[in-house]
């Protein structure tokens, strides 16, 4: 079995319990440092003023939303190709996290856009792509909820996740294309090509902090999912226990 053998539920659980506090603790420290830098040390933008600080939330969320989808797609390959039970536990734990990152990204984008564009929403190419990613996340979560059997749900969702992984770049490309076609008069580019180091470092520290927090949450969610599955396995076992019928009445009915 090789490396897959290391990923049995018992080992993952043990690993998760050992690693979780460290990941969480480190994440909290890095994030605190990052947010301090972002909200206290980092300079305000000469044009946008203090609102630039939303960037330290908004951009890492956008990165993590995509990162989570990439990991989910990897898990989907694990489910479909290696048929590994831990792969769909991982994928299932990932979906709500990705959706939350995407939602925060959209909300912060909207808050950031309000003073810039004087409206809560613009059909900007980036925001629109993130909105579609959000829709895909929600669809995948709904799919997880719709199928009762966890294994079947895992496989079906893995297929949709992979189709999404193939399609999201196509969607991104088409939305960018669509946006340039309908280019409005002049939209202020909120995140231009250059960024000052004084802003970049806090941004990267925040991103690392949020990523650690994400791994922590993912471990917690995986543990919960494993427990949920264990309960279900127990119930399936309990249902299989056969109670012998009274011998006087033969069993009847269709198979």
Partner 1 sequence: MSEQAGPFRALVARDLRLSLRVGGGALTGVLFFLAVITTVPFGVGPDLNLLARIGPAIMWIAALLATLIGLERLFQSDRDDGALDLLRLTDAPLSSFIIAKVVAHWLGASLPLVLATPVLSLLLALEPLAIAALTATLLVGTPALSFLGAVGAALAVTLRRGALLMAVIILPFSIPVLIFGVAATRAAVTEPDPFWPPFALLGAVSLIYAVVGTVGAAAAIRINDG
Partner 2 sequence: MWRGTHLTLNALAVIRGERPLIGGLSVDLSGGDAVALVGPNGSGKTSLLRVLAGLAEPAAGTISLQVDGVSADTPRAAMVHLGGHLDGLKGALTVAENLAFWVRYFGAGPGALSAPDALETLGIGHALNLPAAVLSQGQKRRVALARLLVAPRPVWLLDEPTAALDVASAARFTELVEAHRSQGGIVVAATHAPLALQTLKTLDLATYPPRGPDSEPGEAEGLATALSGDEYWLEGRSA
Site residues, partner 2 (CB under 8 A):
8-10, 13-14, 83, 85, 149-152, 226-227, 229-234, 236-238, 240-241, 251-255
Q: From the list partner 2, partner 1, none, which binds 64 (C-beta under 5 to 8 Å, kind-based)?
A: none
Evaluate whether 206 touches 55 at the Cβ level (below 8 Å). no
Q: Is 235 in the site for partner 1 (CB under 8 A)?
A: no
Two structure tokens written together for 87: 């792969």
d(CA 159, CA 169): 17
Of the two residues 13 and 156, which places its CB atom closer to partner 1 in the complex? Answer: 156
Looking at the Cβ atoms of 126 and 229, the one nearer to partner 2 is 229
Residue 207: half-sphere exposure toward Cβ, Cα within 13 Å: 16
Binding status of residue 3 toward partner 1 by CB under 8 A = no
- Regarding 81 and contact with partner 1 (CB under 8 A), the answer is no
**Would you put residue 118 in left (φ > 0), alpha (ψ -120 to 50) or beta?**
left
CB atoms within 10 A of CB 214: 22
For partner 2, which is the closer residue by CB, 34 or 154?
154
Kindly tell me which of 13 and 107 has the beta carbon lying closer to partner 2.
13
Q: For 243, left (φ over 0), alpha (ψ -120 to 50), or beta?
A: beta
Query: Which among 177, 150, 174 has a CA at the least distance from the CA of 235?
Result: 150
Binding mask 90-129 for partner 1 (x = CB under 8 A): ----------------------------------------
- Which residue lies nearer to partner 2 by CB, 29 or 151? 151
| Interface residue with partner 1, options 19, 32, 151, 236 (CB under 8 A) | 151
DSSP per-residue string spanning 26-54: HHHHHHHHHHHIIIIISPPBTTTBGGGGG
Which residues sit at the interface with partner 1, rule CB under 8 A?
Answer: 80, 132, 135-136, 138-140, 142-143, 146-147, 151-152, 155-156, 159-160, 162-164, 166-167, 170-171, 173-175, 177-178, 181
């Amino acid at each position: 079995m090789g490396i897959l053998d290391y990923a049995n539920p018992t080992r993952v659980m043990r690993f998760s319990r050992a690693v979780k506090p460290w990941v969480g603790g480190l994440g909290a420290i890095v994030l605190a440092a990052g947010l301090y830098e972002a909200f206290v040390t980092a300079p305000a933008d000469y044009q946008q003023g203090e609102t630039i600080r939303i960037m330290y939330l908004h951009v890492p969320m956008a990165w993590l939303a995509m990162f989570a989808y990439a990991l989910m797609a990897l898990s989907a390959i694990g489910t479909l190709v290696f048929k590994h039970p831990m792969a769909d536990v991982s994928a299932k734990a990932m979906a709500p996290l990705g959706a939350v990152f995407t939602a925060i990204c959209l909300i912060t984008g909207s808050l950031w856009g309000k003073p810039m564009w004087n409206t809560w929403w613009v059909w900007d190419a980036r925001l629109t792509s993130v909105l579609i990613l959000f829709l895909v996340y929600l669809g995948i979560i709904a799919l997880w909820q719709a199928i009762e059997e966890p294994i079947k749900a895992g496989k079906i969702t893995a297929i949709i996740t992979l189709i999404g992984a193939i399609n999201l770049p196509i969607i991104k490309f088409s939305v960018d294309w669509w946006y340039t076609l309908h280019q409005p008069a002049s939209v202020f580019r909120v995140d231009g090509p250059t960024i000052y180091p004084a802003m970049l470092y806090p941004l990267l520290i925040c991103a690392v902090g949020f990523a650690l927090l994400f791994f922590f949450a993912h471990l917690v969610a995986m543990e919960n999912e494993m427990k949920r599955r264990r309960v279900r396995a127990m119930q399936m076992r309990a249902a299989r226990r056969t109670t012998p019928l009274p011998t006087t009445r033969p069993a009847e009915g269709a198979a």
